[in-house]
Amino acid sequence: MRSLLALDLAGKMAHFRKFYTNSSSLSYPFPPRTAVAGMLAAVLGWERDTYYDALSIKKAKIAVRIMKPSRSVMQTVNYINTKELRHLDGSGGGTQVPIEIIFPADFDDLLIYRVFLLHADSGITRELFALLNTCRTKFPLYFGLTEFPAWVQRARLYEDEDFELREEKGGEMAIDTVLPVKKVEEITGLDSGVRIHKDRIPLDFTGERTLSHAASVIWEAKGAPIWAKIRGEVFKTSEESGVFLE
């Protein structure tokens, strides 16, 4: 029996660091797959660096949908200068680093991301739902940095008969989630006002916390669905259609 878990994550601010940036800490406008895996592990109470295999792309299918538009602000923050090990006590002074922070487009609103999980072990999916359905997490959640707390607004479990999983062979459809480029044959919906962005995101870590998989993805700036001809696996519920990040 397959189970698809959907959960809405909310917060006021976020910073999901782009893995290829250096001195300036740029951010994705949504949590990449690695960040989502970390938050799912936090819900379950799995310790840092212990969950990479259990939530790897071979065992866990994860998708992300942007539910609300966002904006970004570059802010300079003060960090401890740690160019030398002996300066970890702060004796080396400080250094200023630009960091990109993601905010809701409307300051009074929230950042909201809908995460989907289809795991090879349905027991893990059900354990997550049992915790989230009672508003519990083993460890606190945050959007990239501990200064940016996050929480779960809603969780829903789709049983095998409640969602569809199928292989598309170039058919046109609207995709609501962040979309891997390799699944796109052609983008068909480019109406006025549609702004499609592209970037490369991390997907998976090895046990030594080194990047093992990455992918190019596209998304619409305001979170609107993307009309495209898709080739590969898609899922469909009564509310939306999506593609897993792989």
Over residues 220-230, mean pLDDT: 94
E strand spans, 164-246: 164-175, 179-180, 184-187, 196-205, 211-220, 226-236, 241-242
Check if the beta carbon of residue 167 is closer than 8 Å to that of residue 173: no
Model confidence pLDDT, tens digit, residues 109-137:
999 999 999 999 999 999 999 999 888 89
The domains of the chain, with CATH numbers, are: 3-242 (3.30.70.2660)
pLDDT at 116: 98
* Res. 210: pLDDT tops 90: no
CB–CB of 243/171 below 8 Å?
no
Tell me the two tokens of residue 189: 């919906």
Q: The whole model's pTM is what?
A: 0.92
- pLDDT tens profile 137-173: 999 999 999 999 999 999 999 998 899 999 999 999 9
